[in-house]
Homo-oligomer: A and B are copies of this chain.
């Protein structure tokens, strides 16, 4: 493809209203253009990338036995009333009326429509399991669309829905989808993690999110460096290490700590490492009264875990300083488990400490050398904190790392939520009428493009993984409009690449070399050949990979075999 026959619409300026790097680079590279808030046109260059993602998704879905169909975007209200979501779904559901004042919506998701199709078409367990998917623009009327295609109002999504006569079959297909998603993100060349997740508002039981790792990600995820374990940080478990608790070595001793209010103050005043201290948080109990939660000084309370504890009220409510003082005899900053008359729940890590520092329940005093059992007899232990980097993995293999991620896929075992509400049943092997079990499996196809850029860029622009690059190779002839030798060498190489099916962009625009280099780097094309008079006089051209620091000379006669080798070695 010649640049002159394509549409390159790059910008030098960084757009003012783009907050994150992928949004800025997609606008600057001319991949997308904003039509209205949260509505973007995919320009020819961007669409080439989007289609590559779409193709990989489609191929892996097909290979997994899923069948593609295409449901309308416009959906009648009646089905949403049947499921109950016409009322439940907020203003993100874009509701419309047709010319006859009948209610419709623009589909943000298609559980209702697919369940309606399946209840009409499928009557026997023999036709199951069935996994149906589509790749389609969805509409969600986000209250604050932002980050370009990362959180847009109209976006391209792959949504799949599986139907089963029983939970075992659902679990099997769920596993197949987990594998397909893994292959999709592997083929796309992305650093990603499948992560155990709460299934949130869609309902159901088991669910996994697939995250592309990137520092700008909205979610924090924990994963093991020694196994496949990965979970949302809210959900990742800590390990009970009380068995490794050392025996007490120091005597309990009260220390004056004037002006100390926080763990940081305490560590500064006594020159301590925070992991030798514990903090005590007073919260409302599940029954009447208060409960003390004890966390190691360097850890953070995980409120989801805390409110699941039987002694603790849900939702979690922290005691006021007045309530705490009345119950403990001291205000915040000086509370501790020794001699406390409240029920005590110690986090596993706090409970594994010996000879630790803690508040003495007396104004501006702390204990040193505190020990469980010896000094505090009545307590329970539980998992109450967020995991931190270096924690042992809950599966016993390796240590946890914490990274930020961008959610690009989500798989759910929905169970019977929709099929029950919409009366979708089949006859099972025994002739009994059973409610269908259902799974759903989403991938944010357009969001993947932005996530890939968040993960792969430098200060010159995008660095596409090979599978997503709009073109594999850029040929940049210098001053080709003046040099016949350059023009001829470039044209020949271009034709040879096309003949081999290489996705090549020859930049035949009448632009300065610097403009062409900057554009090809901004566009993130993995491989670049520069053809100029000076090197050509020596029978050579210049090659540079997008991640390479420098270019290298290649003999013109070796150019095609060199290019082919570079392309097949991956980027």
List residues 1-48 of chain A with CB under 8 A from any CB of chain B.
5-7, 9, 30, 33, 35-36, 39-44, 47
**In the complex, are the beta carbons of B120 and A33 less than 8 A apart?**
yes
**In the complex, are the beta carbons of A42 and B67 less than 8 A apart?**
no
Q: Is A433 an interface residue (CB 8 A)?
A: no
Query: Which one, A93-101, A267-275, A371-379, A414-422, is touching chain B?
Result: A93-101
**In the complex, are the beta carbons of B68 and A47 less than 8 A apart?**
yes
Contact of A67 among B35, B44, B153 (CB under 8 A): B44
Query: Which one, A136-144, A167-175, A321-329, A448-456, is touching chain B?
Result: A136-144
Residue in chain B with minimal CB distance to A50: B70
**In the complex, are the beta carbons of A96 and B96 less than 8 A apart?**
yes
Contact of A72 among B75, B116, B154 (CB under 8 A): B154
Q: Is A570 an interface residue (CB 8 A)?
A: no
Indicate the member of A7, A70, A117 with the most B CB atoms within 10 Å. Answer: A70
**In the complex, are the beta carbons of A35 and B96 less than 8 A apart?**
no
**Contact residues in B for A120 (Cβ distance below 8 Å):** 33
Q: A44-B132, A47-B68, A67-B44 are in contact. Are A73 and B137 (CB under 8 A)?
A: yes
**In the complex, are the beta carbons of A75 and B35 less than 8 A apart?**
yes
**In the complex, are the beta carbons of B41 and A72 less than 8 A apart?**
yes
Indicate the member of A5, A69, A137, A143 with the most B CB atoms within 10 Å. Answer: A69
Q: Is A310 an interface residue (CB 8 A)?
A: no
**Contact residues in B for A132 (Cβ distance below 8 Å):** 7, 44
Q: Is A91 an interface residue (CB 8 A)?
A: yes
Q: Is A427 an interface residue (CB 8 A)?
A: no
**Contact residues in B for A30 (Cβ distance below 8 Å):** 121
**In the complex, are the beta carbons of B35 and A71 less than 8 A apart?**
yes
Q: A35-B71, A36-B76 are in contact. Are A65 and B5 (CB under 8 A)?
A: yes
**Contact residues in B for A5 (Cβ distance below 8 Å):** 65
Q: Is A113 an interface residue (CB 8 A)?
A: yes
**In the complex, are the beta carbons of B99 and A91 less than 8 A apart?**
yes
**In the complex, are the beta carbons of A73 and B73 less than 8 A apart?**
yes
Map CB proximity to B onto A55-79 as digits: 1 under 8 Å, 0 otherwise: 0000000000101111111111000
Indicate the member of A67, A74, A127 with the most B CB atoms within 10 Å. Answer: A74
**Contact residues in B for A220 (Cβ distance below 8 Å):** none
**Contact residues in B for A143 (Cβ distance below 8 Å):** 99
Q: A5-B65, A6-B67 are in contact. Are A117 and B74 (CB under 8 A)?
A: no
Residue in chain B with minimal CB distance to A6: B67
Bound: A35/B139 CA distance, A: 18
Task: Give 8 closest A-B pairs by Cβ, nearest first.
Answer: A44-B67, A42-B70, A91-B99, A39-B72, A36-B76, A96-B96, A41-B71, A72-B154
Q: List 7 A-B contacts (CB under 8 A).
A: A7-B130, A36-B74, A36-B104, A44-B132, A72-B137, A73-B137, A96-B106
Instruction: Name 19 extra pairs, CB < 8 A, besides A33-B121, A73-B139, A137-B137.
Output: A6-B67, A7-B121, A33-B117, A35-B75, A35-B113, A36-B72, A36-B76, A39-B75, A40-B72, A41-B113, A41-B117, A43-B69, A44-B68, A47-B70, A72-B137, A74-B153, A94-B96, A94-B98, A96-B96
